[in-house]
Chain A
Amino acid sequence: MRPGTDKAPLEEGRPLLDARGISKSFGGVHALEAADFSCRAGEIHALLGANGAGKSTLVKVLSGVQRPDAGTITLAGETVQFSGPAEAAHHGVATVFQELSLFPHLTVAENIYVGHEPTGPLGQIDQRRMRSDVRALFDSLGVGHIAPGAHVSDLSLADRQLVEIFKALSKEPKLLILDEGTSALGRKEVQRLFDLLRKLKAAGTSVIFISHRMSEIREFVDRMTIFRNGRHVATVAAREASDAEIVEMMLGQRVERSFPERTEVSRDEPPLLELSGFSVGSDLADVSLSLRRGEVLGLAGLEGQGQGTLLLALFGAYRGVAGEALIDGRPVRLSSPKAAMESGIALIPEDRKTEGLVLPMSVRENITFSVLSRLGRFGFVSAARERAFVGRMMERLSVKAASMELPARSLSGGNQQKLVLAKWLETGADVFLFYDPTRGIDVGTKQAFYELIVGLTREGKGVILYSTETSELIGLCHRVAVMDGGRVALTLEGGNITEEEILAASLGVGRGRNAAGADMAEAAQ
């Protein structure tokens, strides 16, 4: 044990899980280096760390998905070695992974029971019992809106995450591991989930919880373990350390989380982008917005209220879009991403791994997809011009990569996200659409992204930023449009952009609703 660990002897409780000296490396890169981790019976334990700290690898080792190179795992006093997830489950370890492990075309009930379905005398699955059990479980937990017979592909992302959690719980685990298991859940659902976790805890189940949302963690967990660079740094009681201290332990240095100063926006100029009556089926209803040069317009609201649809529709990725879009006063046809790009729009999509990057291809190739026609002649690419361009972009965004020929896959999450942005910097885009750009990236890189976003506005670009982190919206935006059910429920401006206002408008309660009503009344006059 290193000095500084286990700051104080905490309340009693025997260790349910004790992992000692766990090492795991991938092709010479150490993901875990003699890492220790221990969790008591009946506690909710948060595992924290910046990207690349080894949290996910530890989860995979604990759940039997990966075998450690070295180290021992003791579970309830017994030394265990898992040959696979099945065996881990057998020992009472159930995990909700970052990548959902659901089966979209099986039913909710089939998903929850997969691998341990109740069977009849002939080995046939007892569908009826499975569904009624799930029905009863859902009703008792207040998620009765999810039908046990529904196909998972028809559920919202948040509901899918809940199903994933219930799937893990159906194995009646002694230890439940949630790896970013709540990233898509709204506040109400998170609250409900933690009510459930507390019940489990009372029944003696331990929960290991991993999340980037600091506020969530602080409220609900008993203890926190901080990892850095594949090693255990400290384990502290949840109320013992301040946010700043935790961030410092995660990063190894004190980082003030501060937002760069907003760019001054001229009120006199005509808007850069004007949307009127933008609608997409039932997902987006009659959205009218304007964006000025130098401005950051935030999109807020609960998850899945049309924010993503709005951004994708603006970028031409939807068909059947009604309404009008003007850029610099000229109407534009956003019929495809190519058309949107040519109209001066850029999109940093939701999932950098599947939508932003071609992971097996090089950093160089990923940065140049959108500008390739300008880096050569007659359909061929000039290697020299391409390398020069890529070098310039990497320097401008300080992308950390040993070589521009490395596959994008090998970069950290934050650097990958920079590649996605780099691709757009010289396409002549004036309107930048960011879809939750800092989700799942570490605190240091988040800071860099704030600088980059504000930097764009200083150059006279306009930014529309959708973020699930309210603090980002408060810190960066000139105005915030709160969306609800595919509509803009309320637009907040300047000093009105506060956590309370956004939340109230998101939930459609209190002052938010009144203000929206007033807005509409005004508009009607």
Chain B
Amino acid sequence: MTTATLKSRFGAFTRHGVAVSYALLVVLIVVAVILNPAFASWANVKAQLQIATFIGIIAIGQTLVILTGQIDLSVPWNLTFSSILMATLYGEGYGFAVAVGAALLVGIGVGLVNAIGVAVFRLHSLVWTLGMNALLEGATMVYTNGQPPDSTIPGFVRFLAVGNLGGLPVAPLVWAVLAAVTILVLARSRFGRFLYATGNNEPALFLSGVATRRVHVGAFVASGVCAVLAGILLTGYASQTYLGMGNDYLLVPIAAVIIGGTNIMGGAGGYVGTIAGTLIVVLLQSILSIAQIGQAGKNITFGLIIIALVLLYAREARPTD
């Protein structure tokens, strides 16, 4: 892609966003290493990447959905329900393929229903996916009778989540592969092109003879599947499933997308920035932990960082300009 392409695709808005977020990332790394030189140890880097993987994979789906101008709030219970379903089915002796396949089907189904609400019924995704989240929470409660399930985790899931491959941790490798595919799809594919166009001006794309509903379906199904994948990895990582395992994964990935410079109204941004956003979010958490700042301080700092970054690069134009 030429510089000119980048300019037109992302506009000043996001070129700055990506640069600023990577600059901040470097600053954070330096700060972390100064605070605690052990931070740069391979073991710690692996641990940080491990945590970043869950957020980063969810943020793939969230980036695609946000690019179309929507948002997916059904991630937490989609993740929880599908993970519990996988673990339970496997525990009942259904085998790895069936268990994981069923979980993925849940993700696809959730994405489809989300997309139908948004693209067919034209409902605001903020409320529609929220309703889906409540529905999935209920489904989980009914399925588990409100008891934390007895989990049996497939060996391969354990391997994906915490295994090593040639000295490298597998989970971040999975993330890297998915990230590469995402970046390629956004930059080069027809679907990627239509995502940006839908977020900018859906009527114009519709009048260009493009089935814009399918674009929404693609984005939401991708988000549903990403949530399931993250859930599977999280299950392997924690060696168990539990109610509420998805609760921390609603707002943090969205924050990562925003920090990475993607426009919350859609149409501009991309996954390159989201990667930086994800790492920033994770690093910040651990720096604040190293500095022994409690949850209250973490929350406040996190909020201030979002505002500061967005003030730097994602302000809207004045109405008169």
A positions within 8 Å CB-CB of B: 60, 65-67, 315, 317, 336-338, 340-342, 347, 349, 354-362, 364-365, 369-370, 372-373, 376, 379-381, 383, 403, 405-407, 423, 427
Complex: chain A residue closest to B210, CB-CB: A369
Question: Given A337-B207, A340-B209, A407-B8, A365–B190 Cβ distance below 8 Å?
Answer: no
For A342, the chain B residues whose CB sits under 8 A away are 209
Question: Given A361-B8, A362-B9, A405-B2, A354–B201 Cβ distance below 8 Å?
Answer: yes
**From residue B277, how far is it (CB to closest CB) to chain A in Å?**
21
Q: Are B5 and A362 in touch, CB under 8 angstroms?
A: yes
B47 at the interface (CB under 8 A from A): no
Complex: chain B residue closest to A316, CB-CB: B209
Binds A, one of B51-59, B113-121, B128-136, B191-199: B191-199
**From residue B74, how far is it (CB to closest CB) to chain A in Å?**
26
Complex: chain B residue closest to A64, CB-CB: B320
Q: Which of B200, B201, B207 has the most C-beta atoms of chain A within 10 angstroms of its own C-beta?
A: B207
**From residue A160, how far is it (CB to closest CB) to chain B in Å?**
19
Given contacts A67-B320, A340-B209, A365-B197, 6 further A-B contacts (CB under 8 A): A341-B209, A360-B11, A361-B197, A369-B193, A376-B190, A381-B190
Complex: chain B residue closest to A347, CB-CB: B207
Complex: chain B residue closest to A26, CB-CB: B321
Q: How far is the CA of A407 from the CA of B209 in the complex (A)?
A: 21
B203 at the interface (CB under 8 A from A): yes
Complex: chain A residue closest to B8, CB-CB: A362
Q: Are B208 and A370 in touch, CB under 8 angstroms?
A: yes
Question: Given A380-B188, A380-B189, A338–B210 Cβ distance below 8 Å?
Answer: yes
Q: How far is the CA of A341 from the CA of B210 in the complex (A)?
A: 9
Interface size range of chain B in the complex: 20 to 34
For A369, the chain B residues whose CB sits under 8 A away are 193-194, 197, 205, 208-210
B204 at the interface (CB under 8 A from A): yes
Q: How far is the CA of A370 from the CA of B268 in the complex (A)?
A: 21
Q: How far is the CA of A427 from the CA of B209 in the complex (A)?
A: 10
Taken residue by residue from 22 to 37, chain B's Cβ proximity to chain A (1 for < 8 Å, 0 otherwise) reads as 0000000000000000
Complex: chain B residue closest to A378, CB-CB: B189
Indicate which residue in B7, B189, B211 contacts A405 across the interface (CB closer than 8 Å): B7
**From residue B99, how far is it (CB to closest CB) to chain A in Å?**
30
For A337, the chain B residues whose CB sits under 8 A away are 206-210
B267 at the interface (CB under 8 A from A): yes
Q: Are A338 and B211 in touch, CB under 8 angstroms?
A: yes
Complex: chain B residue closest to A337, CB-CB: B209
Q: Are B210 and A403 in touch, CB under 8 angstroms?
A: no
Q: Are B211 and A336 in touch, CB under 8 angstroms?
A: yes
**From residue A399, how far is it (CB to closest CB) to chain B in Å?**
15
For A60, the chain B residues whose CB sits under 8 A away are 320
Question: Given A380-B188, A406-B8, A360–B200 Cβ distance below 8 Å?
Answer: yes
B4 at the interface (CB under 8 A from A): yes
Indicate which residue in B191, B207, B209 contacts A379 across the interface (CB closer than 8 Å): B191
Q: Are A361 and B190 in touch, CB under 8 angstroms?
A: no
Q: Are A317 and B207 in touch, CB under 8 angstroms?
A: yes
Q: How far is the CA of A46 from the CA of B9 in the complex (A)?
A: 40
The secondary-structure label for the interface of chain B is helix
Q: Are A370 and B210 in touch, CB under 8 angstroms?
A: yes
Complex: chain A residue closest to B198, CB-CB: A358
Complex: chain B residue closest to A345, CB-CB: B209
Question: Given A405-B5, A406-B8, A361–B206 Cβ distance below 8 Å?
Answer: no
The secondary-structure label for the interface of chain A is mixed
Q: How far is the CA of A242 from the CA of B207 in the complex (A)?
A: 41
Q: Are A357 and B201 in touch, CB under 8 angstroms?
A: yes
For A341, the chain B residues whose CB sits under 8 A away are 209
For B196, the chain A residues whose CB sits under 8 A away are 358, 361, 365
Complex: chain A residue closest to B202, CB-CB: A358
Q: Are B193 and A405 in touch, CB under 8 angstroms?
A: no
Q: Are B8 and A65 in touch, CB under 8 angstroms?
A: no
Taken residue by residue from 1 to 21, chain B's Cβ proximity to chain A (1 for < 8 Å, 0 otherwise) reads as 010110111010000000000
Q: How far is the CA of A66 from the CA of B188 in the complex (A)?
A: 39
**From residue A469, how far is it (CB to closest CB) to chain B in Å?**
23
Q: How far is the CA of A361 from the CA of B205 in the complex (A)?
A: 12
Q: How far is the CA of A476 from the CA of B267 in the complex (A)?
A: 39
Complex: chain A residue closest to B188, CB-CB: A380
Q: Are B207 and A372 in touch, CB under 8 angstroms?
A: no
For A383, the chain B residues whose CB sits under 8 A away are 188
**From residue B127, how far is it (CB to closest CB) to chain A in Å?**
19
Q: Are B190 and A354 in touch, CB under 8 angstroms?
A: no
For B4, the chain A residues whose CB sits under 8 A away are 403, 405-406
Jot down 16 A-B pairs with beta carbons below 8 A, ordered by A. Answer: A337-B208, A337-B210, A340-B209, A354-B203, A356-B207, A358-B201, A359-B200, A360-B200, A361-B197, A365-B8, A365-B197, A369-B210, A373-B190, A379-B189, A405-B2, A405-B5
Q: How far is the CA of A60 from the CA of B189 in the complex (A)?
A: 41
For B209, the chain A residues whose CB sits under 8 A away are 337-338, 340-342, 369-370, 427
Indicate which residue in A66, A338, A354, A364 contacts B320 across the interface (CB closer than 8 Å): A66
Complex: chain A residue closest to B184, CB-CB: A380
Q: Which of A65, A336, A361, A373 has the most C-beta atoms of chain B within 10 angstroms of its own C-beta?
A: A361
Q: Are B11 and A380 in touch, CB under 8 angstroms?
A: no
For A381, the chain B residues whose CB sits under 8 A away are 188-190, 193
Q: Are A354 and B204 in touch, CB under 8 angstroms?
A: yes
Complex: chain A residue closest to B197, CB-CB: A358
Q: How far is the CA of A358 from the CA of B193 in the complex (A)?
A: 11
Q: How far is the CA of A347 from the CA of B209 in the complex (A)?
A: 10
For A357, the chain B residues whose CB sits under 8 A away are 201, 204
The 6 closest A-B pairs by CB, nearest first: A341-B209, A405-B4, A362-B8, A369-B208, A358-B201, A358-B200
Complex interface residues of chain B between 170 and 196 (CB less than 8 A to chain A): 188-191, 193-194, 196
Q: How far is the CA of A359 from the CA of B189 in the complex (A)?
A: 20
Complex: chain A residue closest to B213, CB-CB: A336
For B201, the chain A residues whose CB sits under 8 A away are 354, 357-359
For A406, the chain B residues whose CB sits under 8 A away are 4, 8
For B188, the chain A residues whose CB sits under 8 A away are 380-381, 383
**From residue B114, how far is it (CB to closest CB) to chain A in Å?**
22
Complex: chain A residue closest to B7, CB-CB: A405
For A66, the chain B residues whose CB sits under 8 A away are 320
Q: Are B204 and A372 in touch, CB under 8 angstroms?
A: no
For A403, the chain B residues whose CB sits under 8 A away are 4
**From residue B115, how far is it (CB to closest CB) to chain A in Å?**
17
Q: Are B193 and A365 in touch, CB under 8 angstroms?
A: yes
Q: Are B190 and A407 in touch, CB under 8 angstroms?
A: no
**From residue A421, how far is it (CB to closest CB) to chain B in Å?**
12
Complex: chain A residue closest to B211, CB-CB: A338
Complex: chain B residue closest to A365, CB-CB: B193
Q: How far is the CA of A65 from the CA of B318 in the complex (A)?
A: 11
For A361, the chain B residues whose CB sits under 8 A away are 8-9, 196-197, 200
Q: Which of B11, B200, B203, B209 has the most C-beta atoms of chain A within 10 angstroms of its own C-beta?
A: B209
**From residue B163, how far is it (CB to closest CB) to chain A in Å?**
31
For B7, the chain A residues whose CB sits under 8 A away are 405
For B210, the chain A residues whose CB sits under 8 A away are 337-338, 369-370
**From residue B2, how far is it (CB to closest CB) to chain A in Å?**
7
